A and B are shown apart, each in its own frame.
Chain A
Amino acid sequence: MGNLKNEEVGSSRACRLLLVDDSATVAEFVSRALPHCNVERLENFVDLPAYLRKASPEAVILDVEMPGLSGQGFAQYLRRCTKAEIPIVLYSSVDSARLAAISDEVGAVAALRKTGDPAALRDIIHKVLGPRAIHP
């Protein structure tokens, strides 16, 4: 599990987000785009049970193309690992039509293409978690 530096600035009131993405660069970008969130990262599904024993993320930002287990598979695994209904936001480079189809399949609350636009990411997280995720 890779923990990003936002944890250092995150207070107990900061929104806790789990980012599931095999890209360290994307993880750093998300962390910087959401400076008021406590962003933690898993590179793959293997560490999920151990992570959930220690943490209760308020939302999961999920890439759908990862080695080992697809985003769909991860979403199903997440549902099995926890009784809590954790909102899933898909965040991927796949085309919009495919992303929408996967979003329906996994019951994601939102889906966003990775366009490198931090404002778009903040808008989505704001809609999912409210203003606390954007403003301290």
Chain B
Amino acid sequence: MTRTGADAALAALRGRLVTLEGPTLRAPAALVVCAVHGVRVGVDLALCREVLPLAATTPVPEAPPWVLGLVRVAEREIAVLDLVGRIEGSSRLPALDEHILVVHADDRELGIVVESVFGVVATEGASLQEPPVGELASWMLGVVEHEGDPIFWLEPAALLVDLPGDAT
């Protein structure tokens, strides 16, 4: 993937959120907190639809290796993305105890493979810091501090960058 494209898209998303919320980007009211790539990642609860056990996916021809395939959710086929595979640029076989977090991303739904789900935490008014550095940075809006611990705030729409159209 091209980081430049992802960075630009995320910057635009951050700008849109700032426009909506005023001059300061705030932490969402609640986050669904899960583990991705060994770190705590949170997705705005308002964007989360459900958590599924890791299910068999239908492969998508010509899709990049980090698109695990399609899974059927409520009569719809949604693409399942593996962020670890995307970071490593390779195909990965997730462990059977991993999960799929189904999220809204702009006008569509996506499945994100997560290693575990900690639960939902209230983050209204929580301290929000600059996005983390590192390989997940392109998809992060910031770091939310919850009871002194960091949660890397993931923006699902940022994952759409570089995603082939026929995979969604």
Seen from chain A, the residues whose Cβ lies within 8 Å of a Cβ on chain B are 23-29, 32-33, 35, 93, 95, 114-119
Contacts and interface: CB of A to CB of B under 8 A. Distances in A.
A122 B95 CA distance: 26
B103 to A, nearest CB: 18
Contacts of A27: 134
Interface string B131-151: 011111100000100001110
Listed residue (A25, A28, A114, A117) with the most chain B CB atoms within 10 angstroms of its CB: A25
Interface residues of B, number: 23
A66 to B, nearest CB: 12
A68 to B, nearest CB: 15
Nearest to A114: B38
Contacts of B135: 23-25
Contacts of A32: 143, 149-150
22 contacts: A23-B134, A23-B135, A24-B133, A24-B135, A25-B37, A25-B137, A25-B152, A26-B37, A26-B38, A26-B39, A28-B39, A28-B133, A28-B134, A29-B132, A32-B149, A115-B38, A116-B34, A116-B35, A116-B36, A116-B39, A117-B35, A118-B149
Given A116-B38, A116-B39, A25 B150 contact: no
Main secondary structure, interface of A, reads helix
A26 B35 contact: no
A117 B38 CA distance: 8
Contacts of B150: 29, 32-33, 118
A118 B35 CA distance: 11
B44 interface: no
B109 interface: no
A72 B135 CA distance: 24
Contacts of B137: 25
User: 3 smallest A-B Cβ distances: which pairs?
Assistant: A114-B38, A25-B134, A24-B134
B116 interface: yes
A25 B152 CA distance: 10
Given A115-B116, A116-B116, A118-B150, A29 B38 contact: yes
